[in-house]
Amino acid sequence: MGWSEGKTLNNCVPGKALGGDVFANTNGVLPSANGRIWYEADVGVDYTMSRSNSKNPAYRILYSNDGLIYGTYDHYDTVFQIFP
């Protein structure tokens, strides 16, 4: 795509979005289980802004391969369960 991390995505691929990166959960903030994989995605980000922009809402959703969904407003310091 020609996009570099931290750069404005909309300049490279207008109208597109990124998400679904694997989240390692190294701080143990999310529940773990054998075989569970966590993924992360930004929510409500305006992709005309760079990641370092102070207007970025920093809300992320975390979802697992076995159906759990959590959210965070503070970059993983705390999380809250959305589903189930």
Q: Any catalytic annotation for residue 75?
A: yes
Q: What is the residue type of 47?
A: Y
Q: Distance of CA 7 to CAs 4, 10, 43, 47, 74, Å? A: 6, 9, 17, 10, 21
Catalytic residue among 40, 45, 62, 64: 40
Any alpha helices (H) in the chain, and if so which ranges?
Answer: none
Backbone dihedral region of 12: left (phi > 0), alpha (psi from -120 to 50 degrees) or beta?
A: alpha
Catalytic residue among 22, 33, 34, 75: 75
List active site positions.
Answer: 40, 75
